[in-house]
Amino acid sequence: MLARLLGATDAVARLGLAALLAVVAWTVISRAAYGLTGGAAELMLPGSIELASHALMITIMAALPRAAVGGLVRVEIFAARLPARLGRALERVWAAGFGLFAAIVAMLLADEGRLQWNRGDATQDLALPLGAVTGWAAVAAALVAVAALLHALARGRRDMHP
């Protein structure tokens, strides 16, 4: 189950990164064309900064479940000196704590997203519903929580790293 979750979030992170790169590349090319033609070629993407920031958020939030499972910071000098059993126990506690933190963040983001949706808040440039943007972040944070908690529960097994 954890491997399938990570596969799905990895795919979303890759799509977000591709979108971010496409927006940045198009912006650079269109600004160059605008400058070279003296303003005759107006190919700029409306709301490109907003699009890039949303693509970056999608990329980061979708990549966090992978980080929760295998990319969190470890102090190897300290961890190498611990007995293996204690090291695994501490890693389980850390993963569970991280999962709990992500669950709290998900709940707070979901509450904020509902408020934004009910008020009809929209993004500045593209007028996207801000509740949907915050709602995506809440779903992504919930997936981080699920991945971290599944990882914490799997720490004693050999197949803990998908």
For position 88, what pLDDT does the model report?
A: 80
Residue type (1 letter), 148: A
| Global confidence as pTM | 0.78
For position 158, what pLDDT does the model report?
A: 47
Give the residue extent of every domain in the chain.
Answer: 2-154
Residue with tokens 């979901």: 110
- Whether the CB-CB separation of 1 and 153 falls below 8 Å is answered with no
For position 87, what pLDDT does the model report?
A: 79
pLDDT along the chain (162 residues), means of 10: 88 96 96 92 91 94 85 66 82 88 97 97 93 94 92 64 50
Q: In the chain, count of helices (H) and strands (E)?
A: 5, 0
For position 142, what pLDDT does the model report?
A: 95
Query: What percent of the chain is helix, strand and coil (3-state, nearest 5)?
Result: 80, 0, 20
Nearest to 72 by CA among 155, 126, 148: 148
